[in-house]
Structure 1
């Protein structure tokens, strides 16, 4: 486990880095580092054993990397965990700084409403607590470290499902499923507020506003901020499987990861303060 970072390396903290898109972002950073610069990567995970397992696999896959990997326990539902995570990061670097925060960790509980394993209030509260409230608490704690960096960057992982304008679109099968209305009458099918990702997409719309508030709050502090909409990816979100999502048209997570790293490395600096897709600025 690394205890200090090199001044030449950008220190980056990625929440939810042990699996899914977060892990793919780290792989993309390690691939990019072979041709550009090296990184001091802090891999955040709710479970330290899971973080260490992920790091061992990464070191095996990238044995020649000059980047460093450090596990940081980080549970967005626990203020104590978040406070401890920031203290760990502050002690990790010589200047107590953080160059880049990638708020990647998130959760979706809609399928559990449909299955009856969680009640609606429980699932919605859990979604907002993780995706918005926990992200806000962590970001607030991390800002003092970001302000010590030379070129601080703050990234929130958004979603294509969050756009209000996009709720009117049914131009393809995926959007028909997402935005289609159930038959008239009541009660509606159990999937109306469960399988349709209602709580998840609502939290991601809220996250867009959270990003905009940080743009306002840090407007005179030189922090570059985005919400990155990585696309419909084949991860394990919402208790699904990559195989099932691929059958629905989901893309390889590496595509979203490479896009996120391109933002980290300055290729979308012209779109600071926006929700961005690979090829466009996403409508609000």
Structure 2
């Protein structure tokens, strides 16, 4: 086990897009960042440019839909560091068909979406929670979406009122609920748990996005670096608290 005194952060789904940029920003803040991806070779390739810039980034294999992969990653972190200061649950999928109505989306789409966006987050968090408890004041960041806000979906004046992608949106609503429950469980500890909406970010998963990834990653990084007086159990976007 190393005696590294820097904060150790792990970002899932980090080989591209928002996850990759979150790794960059956390490493720029002086953290040692574990860049997690399903494919270790791709994770290594993604980490190399950061290392060339002098940033402290290390690749790790982690598939949030594989219990074996999750357990191995958690054991690797335990063996090397003995703790985890920041967990950013960034991995996610968007599988809804834009050409279908909510009732027409396939059950397979629902199941595969929840497998990554909810069950994968819960399984990963459960596996790493002992390491997060071992840190002085850990932070858990769950990447959600305003499409998971029931208040926004039922408000005719909301920008998402007419955007109904049910499997993705419901998975994020459930993720928000998980955030609330976990924050309550950990309320008497130094650990803070928050959900974030990155904004409509232009990525491979969202070609219609408006924000750049640098701006999109900002809220995740802000919640990852919260001080002792920061919030827990909230839903955040660029300094604003969003309605559930």
TM-score, normalized by length of structure 2? 0.91
Partner of 2:25: 28
Is residue 52 of structure 1 aligned with residue 50 of structure 2? no
Distance 1:74 1:123, change over 3 A: same
Is residue 127 of structure 1 aligned with residue 113 of structure 2? yes
Which one of 193, 196, 203 corresponds to residue 225 of structure 1? 193
Q: Which has the larger radius of gyration?
A: 1
Which one of 221, 224, 227 corresponds to residue 261 of structure 1? 221
Is residue 40 of structure 1 aligned with residue 32 of structure 2? yes
In the TM superposition, what is the alpha-carbon distance from 1:134 to its structure 2 partner? 1.1
Which one of 64, 87, 102 corresponds to residue 54 of structure 2? 64
Aligned equivalents of 1:101, 1:272: Cα separation in 2: 14
Alpha carbon RMSD of aligned pairs, Å?
Answer: 2.2
Aligned equivalents of 1:101, 1:199: Cα separation in 2: 24
CA deviations on 1:85-134 (whole Å, 9 max, x unpaired) are: 101111121xx1111111111111113885xxxx7111100001111111
8 Å CA contact 2:198, 2:219 repeated in 1: yes
Is residue 105 of structure 1 aligned with residue 91 of structure 2? yes
Partner of 1:186: none
Any idea what SS the aligned residue of 1:111 has? coil
8 Å CA contact 2:88, 2:220 repeated in 1: no
Partner of 1:146: 132
Distance 1:169 1:146, change over 3 A: same
Aligned equivalents of 1:18, 1:258: Cα separation in 2: 17
Partner of 2:238: 278
8 Å CA contact 2:18, 2:203 repeated in 1: yes
TM-score, normalized by length of structure 1? 0.79
In the TM superposition, what is the alpha-carbon distance from 1:28 to its structure 2 partner? 1.5
Aligned equivalents of 1:152, 1:267: Cα separation in 2: 10
In the TM superposition, what is the alpha-carbon distance from 1:142 to its structure 2 partner? 0.6
Runs of 4+ in 1 over 4 A off after TM superposition: none
Aligned equivalents of 1:69, 1:279: Cα separation in 2: 27
Aligned equivalents of 1:260, 1:142: Cα separation in 2: 18
In the TM superposition, what is the alpha-carbon distance from 1:260 to its structure 2 partner? 1.8
Gapped runs of 5+ residues in structure 1? 179-195
Partner of 1:6: 4
1:112-261 correspondence runs (5 A): 114=100, 120-171=106-157, 175=160, 177-178=162-163, 196-237=164-205, 240-241=206-207, 245-246=208-209, 250-261=210-221
Gapped runs of 5+ residues in structure 2? none
Any idea what SS the aligned residue of 2:160 has? helix
In the TM superposition, what is the alpha-carbon distance from 1:170 to its structure 2 partner? 4.3
Q: Which moved more, 1:136-145 or 1:258-267?
A: 258-267
Any idea what SS the aligned residue of 1:110 has? coil
8 Å CA contact 2:27, 2:33 repeated in 1: no
